[in-house]
Chain A
Amino acid sequence: MRHYFGRKLLVYALTFVVAVTVNWMIPRFMPGDPVAGMLARTGVSQPAAVEAMRVYYTDLFGFDRPLWEQYAGFWATLLRGDFGISIWLFPTPVSTVILRAVPYTLALMIPAVLLSWWAGNRLGAYAARRRLLDNTVLPVGYVLTAMPYMWLAVLLAWGLGVVAGWFPVAGGYAFSLQPALTGEFLLSLLHHWVLPFLSLFLVALGGWAIGMRNMIIYELESDYATYLAALGAPSRLIRRYAFRNAVLPQITGLALQLGVLVAGALVTEIVFSYPGLGSLILKAIQNQDFFLLQGTFMFIVVGVLVANFVIDLVYVVVDPRTRAGMAGAQA
């Protein structure tokens, strides 16, 4: 078990280093002068402001220093939690801008991911059991999982939002309201949350259901299931074992899908102008705010790493083989 976690943590540490290095490298090795390009495209008109920004950013990039010093400096500022200052919302620090958006993304993603995983597993297990259900779950599952996240979001926004008028299609809460702990605000928050949640949930659901169905069928054909059936064990027991064993690869699958799920959440937010990291990224790109973009990137990487680690912990609790000191899961 020590070995298991040791390996995992090494991978995560390496990933973090790679991500930081990529983050540092790209502006420096892409063609063109990043500072000049940035300032030219920001559209700030007062010369004094532009000059202040130029001084600030040139110093930040530290182009006059040797590369290794720039690299070390980059790490130092990063570890201080300093992601620079946003151009779009100058002079708000990037970390502040991001921290304002993170709760929205988490509130969208965590329920959507966990619920779709849970419901998808249930649905897949039922589908593996009944032919009729299988014949509907499977095609619907394939369609859902093949859908681009933003397209389902657009369809839902159009159908349930614009045409039916049941849900608002833009923003995190009504424009007329100010964030406050009032019932009215919370209700508005919830109302705006439903559609983005639903579209994330549905696309992810299809993939989980198909995965679980296939895993269960595989497990039901495995030797231990055949043996139990030969000894007359009721199918209830066999299915319980099969479900339990099929859940393990689904947990690993959850870790593997994190990147895709994050991507899905980002584009879904963009469709609904939901004030999370996705909309932030869009604004950053539209305003050429590279500091904001890179800061968001670091946040996402760290978030994914933490989520991976949590999944590892859960896996150890669920799969006895990792606890028994054997290599039950791939490192």
Chain B
Amino acid sequence: MTLTVTDLRVSYRTLGGEVKALDGVSFGVRDGEILGLAGESGCGKTTLGKSLIRLDGRMRHVGGTVELDGRELPIADDRRMNAFRFHEVSLVPQYAMSALNPTRRIGRMVAELLKSRGVRLDRDKLERRLDLVGLPREVLDRYPLELSGGMKQRMVMVVSTLLDPSLLVADEITSALDVSTQKAVARALLGFRDSGFVKSMLFITHDLALTSHIADTIMVMYAGRLTEKAPADVMVKAPRHPYTRMLINSLPEVGVRHAERPLSGIAGSPPSLLDPPPGCRFRDRCPLADEGCAEDPPVTETEPDHFVACWKA
């Protein structure tokens, strides 16, 4: 296992109180595996991605552990976590369009970043990676402003993976791109994995269709909890959790982009995470729910590598 997450709990501080964005999530990612993480907005997938690399100021680690290559990540300790960032865990952010300092030439920025982490810039390696994603070497002498959106996206991917991290968190990286660029980005990510630049990957998206193309395993979350986790083909063909089934059925067609909005096929909305009700969190929207669902459904492995949290599955 590259990554083992056990009972992770992370909350947000707000004026109304603590929002339990992650409420006891456990899963693992194997060497060489790409885990696709899907769910509606607000289900906790971005929080999970951030928790693995850097909690933002309003987030608080409540409990649970994260292990990477057998070592525990000190996710609550911003300073100690620095040793792991970039070297072991890296991030391709949602905002790749604006992730590069606008007033530095890209090459210089990369060199300064590496130097600040105590690494000498390997120019050859950098140029080979640029070739691999189809970026001309001249981009290093350019300012971010002079690059197109797709170029910036690829540049950020190259920068993030330059130190060959064990785990790469790719957070909604395709949502700002058009369909053909999305495919190119997805292909590049696969290439990075196949060339061994990154050992494993967490691919966060609200786009189940795209996920099924690139991920080996898909994990679906709902209201801060794991709902179902299964190999990609199993998940698409034979989902077991009612929520996942409705998600998959609501897909118009595999390959067509799905906009981020409350799923029209499923009436109602997720419960408030300020003070979530006991029992299954999908209960109120679930067609199969009964009194038994008032108790928390445990995550059970119904088949090898297929995990479901539902009494009815």
Contact = CB atoms under 8 A, between A and B. Distances in A.
Please determine if A and B sit in direct contact within the complex, based on CB atoms under 8 angstroms apart: yes
B93 A319 contact: no
Contacts of A328: 145
B113 A245 contact: no
A231 B146 contact: no
Contacts of A223: 93, 95, 98-99
Contacts of A229: 54
Interface residues of A, number: 24
A37 B116 CA distance: 72
Interface of A: 222-224, 226-234, 236-237, 241, 244-245, 248, 319-321, 324, 326, 328
Contacts of B294: none
Mostly, the B contact residues are loop
A320 B105 contact: yes
Interface of B: 53-54, 56, 81-87, 90-91, 93, 95, 98-105, 112-113, 116-117, 142-143, 145-146, 156, 159-160
Contacts of A234: 82, 116
Contact of A226 (B93, B116, B117, B142): B93
Contacts of B90: 231
B145 A222 contact: no
A261 to B, nearest CB: 26
A233 to B, nearest CB: 5
B21 to A, nearest CB: 18
A231 B101 CA distance: 14
Contacts of B93: 223, 226-227, 230
A224 B96 CA distance: 9
A244 B91 CA distance: 25
Nearest to A241: B101
Nearest to B54: A230
Contacts of B56: 226
A222 B98 contact: yes
Given A230-B91, A321-B145, A224 B99 contact: yes
A222 B84 CA distance: 23
B98 to A, nearest CB: 4
B32 to A, nearest CB: 23
B113 A233 contact: yes
Contacts of B160: 231
B101 A224 contact: yes
Contact of A326 (B84, B85, B145): B145
A232 B85 contact: yes
A20 B142 CA distance: 44
A226 B96 CA distance: 11
A245 B101 contact: yes
A248 B102 CA distance: 12
B103 A321 contact: yes
B227 to A, nearest CB: 27
Contact of A321 (B83, B84, B143): B143
B112 A231 contact: no
A281 B82 CA distance: 61
A236 B136 CA distance: 31
